[in-house]
Structure formats: structure tokens, C-alpha cells
A and B are shown apart, each in its own frame.
Chain A
Amino acid sequence: DADVTQTPRNRITKTGKRIMLECSQTKGHDRMYWYRQDPGLGLRLIYYSFDVKDINKGEISDGYSVSRQAQAKFSLSLESAIPNQTALYFCATSDPMGEQYFGPGTRLTVT
């Protein structure tokens, strides 16, 4: 089984809808991250969490919120989706040395 899983893998939603992307990990890492990938822009950090009680904004947090329900679970929410949030979203965990392990990604389309 994969160490970092994301659900759903694909999602199409309408403008204004609330949507949640979920991430689970079995690596036992404290640190978890959410990124979005857009063509030509690479991956940009949305939010990161060092542990259940420590959540931090990344480079592009506007329009997003997160919840760290447990060490193994880190969810990303779009309270009111807009078309420019159409992107590929990746969850990742980090080991103490700093290497990051990525989930398979969630492709989100907002129409």
C-alpha cells in the first residue's frame, strides 16, 4: 500500500461549492504539506503542519483552509471554489532529515 494516499484522485466541482481533499499517511511523520501544481509554475506550498497543533500558511494560502485531524491525516478545504483553483494538488510528508514523500495527487477542476 502507498505510504501517502489522497482522496479523491479526480474531482469536478462548480464555482461556489465547498470541497475537501483528504490526505493520509502511514509513515509516522509529524510534518505534512499541501501543494498545488500549475503548468509552468512548478509546485507551490499552500499550507504545512509540523504536528497536530501547529499549522502554518504557505506561499499561496488565500482561499484555502486545512485541518490536521491526527498525525496521519491532513485535509485541505476550498470553502468556495473558484475556477482559478483548478490545479493538481499534492499532499506530502517529511521525515526528520527533510526528505519529502508525495501522494499521487488530486486533479481538481472547478467549472
Chain B
Amino acid sequence: AQSVTQPDIHITVSEGASLELRCNYSYGATPYLFWYVQSPGQGLQLLLKYFSGDTLVQGIKGFEAEFKRSQSSFNLRKPSVHWSDAAEYFCAVGARDTGNQFYFGTGTSLTVIP
């Protein structure tokens, strides 16, 4: 069965520090992979996506993620965090063989301290 694990429920970083949010998935074939961000009281905004090709993908707001098939991971990174990055981040896997159903991780809440 498909599943997504975000091991870190909550992360706190200082403004200007680097950030890495972990995501591991379980899926039998090559999945579609996504990262979404949700600011308080808001909907979900797509940060970046991986379908195929280059395993390092660039997204909006300076985020990037790397697909590592051997580790079943799709970790999100940002070299220098801004206070406005404080939000909840969700990793999702899209299952190609079941009508593009999405499976979401439980989310990582990011706090940015000055």
C-alpha cells in the first residue's frame, strides 16, 4: 500500500539557517512526488513537484527537493530560512496506477525564530 511518512512533527530553526524536511514514501513504482505548504488559516500551495527526469527539483520561494529512489525519499531543503516560511509542510505521493490518488504525510510544522 502507498504511504508517506514525515518523521518530524515539528521543527524549529533560526532565521537564516538552513532547513531540511524529511519525507519517505512507500510505493511500488515510480511515483509522482509533491511538497505543499499551508500557512495558518490558508489552503495548500504547491512548492514543487517531481514527475521524472532530473532528481533535483527547484520550486518556489527558494525551496528545492531531491528524489532518491534508493532511499525512497524526497526531502525538502532551503539554504536560508525566512520568518515568512513558518508554516505547515506536507509531502504527498501521487499514485499513477490508481487514478492519481494522493497520499499525504501527516505534515511538519515549521517555526522560525529570529
| Residues of chain A having any CB pair with chain B under 8 Å | 31, 33, 35, 40-45, 48, 50, 56, 58, 90, 92, 94, 97-100, 102-105
B interface residue count range (under 10 / 10 to 19 / 20 to 34 / 35 or more): 20 to 34
With beta carbons under 8 angstroms apart, the residue of A40, A44, A50, A56 that contacts B104 is A44
B17 interface residue (CB < 8 Å to A): no
Cα separation A103 to B90 with both chains bound (whole Å): 16
Q: Is the CB of B104 within 8 A of A99?
A: no
Shortest CB–CB separation between residue B95 and chain A, in angstroms?
A: 9
Residues of B within 8 A of A100 (CB): 34, 92, 94, 100, 102
Contacts A40-B106, A42-B107 supplied; 17 other A-B pairs, CB < 8 Å: A31-B100, A40-B107, A43-B44, A45-B101, A50-B99, A92-B102, A98-B32, A98-B51, A98-B96, A99-B32, A99-B34, A99-B94, A100-B34, A102-B36, A102-B44, A103-B43, A104-B43
| Residues of chain B having any CB pair with chain A under 8 Å | 9, 32, 34, 36, 42-44, 46, 49, 51, 90, 92, 94, 96, 99-102, 104-107
